[in-house]
Amino acid sequence: MLSWLHRSAAAFVLCVCFCGGTAQGITIVFFNTAQTASTVTTNDTSDTIKSSGYLFTYSLDKWWSASPGGPPTGRFSSVGWPNGVQAQTLTTGPGGTLPSQVSATITLSRVDGMPFDLTSFTAKILGNTAGAGAAFEIAAQLNGVDGFPTPLTFDATGYAGNTFSYSTPLLTGFDTYSISLWMDFALTGITLVDASAPVPVTLLTSNTSSNYFRLSWPSQAVGYYLQSSPDPVSSHFTNTGVAPLTEGAYQVVTLPMTNSHQLFRLSQ
């Protein structure tokens, strides 16, 4: 769903398409280069990033050291945004080597805390599991209550670099999903559906001076990106790369005026 704005140096013409009103919600397929991510929090054993209204919290073995007793350097991550999100098993903590390895885990939730559906995923294992066998375990919660007596399991037995893809029709209507494996792994594809009604979004404009203008949209409309194009061909739109600032009830982007025609839209 899109909201459009046409800009020229002489005049503004506002064309509005409301982003909302569909019962099926909004489907987002991660990961691609048009999606950006930003860091939300960094903890001793995990990081959290957000993209398109969703939060990804992934475990990291930050206390690991290349030499026993040496300074912690953490382990290298081979998969990063926008190719996916990598989780590491935890082998070392502040007090030294852990008595038992802690599974690599990626936890997904929405920024607004609302329920959503996880309809499919693709993951790559980053070590050999063929000898002992392995399975991705997915736990789902709604308002802190477990959705299943035990986590759902999906086979992950293979060799480093193998990928596994699964459809997950049972993972519907929860607000938190945790994907775990006893070996390092990377989530390289996932389809999420916002089960709630989308927030209506209008892209607004106003002048700030003779050389700049403002674009704004409601603050509660999370996960939208401002894109521009010299023409209305959908494939020509690219992200402006300008991060919005929150001003009261709106997210605001300020851009310079030019003598060329430009179309703007909000996209997820």
Supply the CATH number for residue 51's domain: 2.60.120
Give residue 83's pLDDT.
Answer: 96
Domain boundary residue, one of 170, 194, 218: 194
Contact 217, 245 (CB under 8 A): no
- Please indicate, yes or no, whether residues 93 and 212 belong to a single structural domain of this protein: no
Whole-model pTM: value is 0.68
Query: Are 204 and 84 contained in the same domain?
Result: no
Q: What is the pLDDT along the chain (268 residues), one digit of tens a residue?
A: 445 555 544 434 333 333 333 334 678 999 988 888 999 999 999 999 999 899 999 999 999 998 877 889 999 999 999 999 999 999 998 888 899 999 999 999 999 999 999 999 999 999 999 999 999 999 999 999 999 999 999 999 999 999 999 999 999 999 999 999 999 999 999 999 987 655 566 777 776 666 788 888 877 676 677 888 888 887 888 888 888 888 877 888 888 887 777 888 887 6
Tell me the residue range of the domain where 115 lies.
26-194
The structural domain count of the chain equals 2
CA distance 128 to 144: 33
For residue 35, the Cα-to-chain-centroid distance in whole angstroms is 8
111: left (phi over 0), alpha (psi -120 to 50) or beta: alpha
d(Cα 202, Cα 136) in Å, to the nearest integer?
41
CA 182 to chain centre: 23
- The three state secondary structure string of the chain is CCEEEEECCCCEEEECCCCCCCCCCEEEEECCCCCCCEEEEECCCEEEEEECCEEEEEECCCCCCCCCCCCCCCCCCCCCCCCCEEECCEEEECCEEEEEEECEEEEEEECCCCCEEEEEEEEEECCCCCCCCCEEEEEEEECCEECCCCCEEEECCCCCCCEEEEECCCCCCECEEEEEECCCEEEEEEEEEECCCCCCCCCEEEECCCCEEEEEEECCCCCCEEEEECCCCHHHCEECCCCCEEECCEEEEEEECCCCCEEEEEEC
- Among 119, 67, 124, which Cα is nearest to 97's? 67
Q: How far is residue 45's CA from residue 23's CA, in Å, rounded to a whole number?
A: 38
- Domain-ending residue, one of 177, 194, 211: 194
Contact 118, 189 (CB under 8 A): no
- C-alpha distances (whole Å) from 191 to each of 31, 131, 136, 187 are 9, 30, 16, 11
Say yes or no: 89 and 174 in one domain: yes
Determine the pLDDT at residue 18.
37
98 and 176 in one domain? yes
Pairwise CA distance, residues 241 & 36, whole Å: 9
Among 194, 216, 238, identify where a domain stops: 194
Q: In the prediction, which pLDDT does 32 show?
A: 87
The sign of the dihedral angle between the CA atoms of 78, 81, 85, 88 is positive
Q: How far apart are CA 19 and CA 2, in angstroms?
A: 6
Is the domain of 175 the same as that of 206?
Answer: no
